[in-house]
Amino acid sequence: MPPGALRGRAPLLPSSGRALDVACGRGAVAVWLATRGLATDAVDVSAVGVAAGAELAREWGVDVGWSVHDLDTGLPPGCSGPYDVVVCQRFRDPALYPALVAALAPGGLLVITVLSEVGDSGGAFRAAPGELATAFAALEVLAHTERDGEASLVGRRPAR
């Protein structure tokens, strides 16, 4: 079963190609993408999280390219794409949004989920209403929700 933001969206994902898990945490999404046949890279600021992801990948018998990197400085040089799938869950940095789009291959899929002010009390790390739709307007939006303190968007980069 797909984890987190990918639940219910597995049919949209390719079964081959390249994937990037941004702010991968303990690596569940990255490992799941690799089990689907995608050559997967994963990046997170936490060396402990990346080590846990690497152990999970070993348990599942898949290869993932792991990178410890502070995303506040952008994507690491080795994660520039093009990727057929880019996933970013629970990490919000509007300055990184253009790099997420740039990392997508033509026809590539972006799946992003962030904390949101919609249905919540707000705060410095929460997206304003409409933030994701505006930031990713160049993508073909396949799904977009904002509720209960969470915003998510699934978008496809135009094939041309």
pLDDT number for residue 80: 80
16-156 belongs to which homologous superfamily? Answer: Vaccinia Virus protein VP39 (3.40.50.150)
**Where do the structural domains in the chain lie, given as residue ranges?**
16-156
| pTM (predicted TM-score) | 0.93
Helix H, strand E, coil C: the string for the chain is CCCHHHCCCHHHCCCCCEEEEECCCCCHHHHHHHHCCCEEEEEECCHHHHHHHHHHHHHHCCCEEEEECCHHHCCCHHHCCCEEEEEEECCCCHHHHHHHHHCEEEEEEEEEEEEECCCCCCCCCCECCCHHHHHCCCCEEEEEEEECCEEEEEEECCCC
The answer on pLDDT for 10 being more than 70 is yes
The answer on pLDDT for 109 being more than 70 is yes
Q: What is the pLDDT of residues 70-81, one digit of tens each?
A: 999 999 988 888
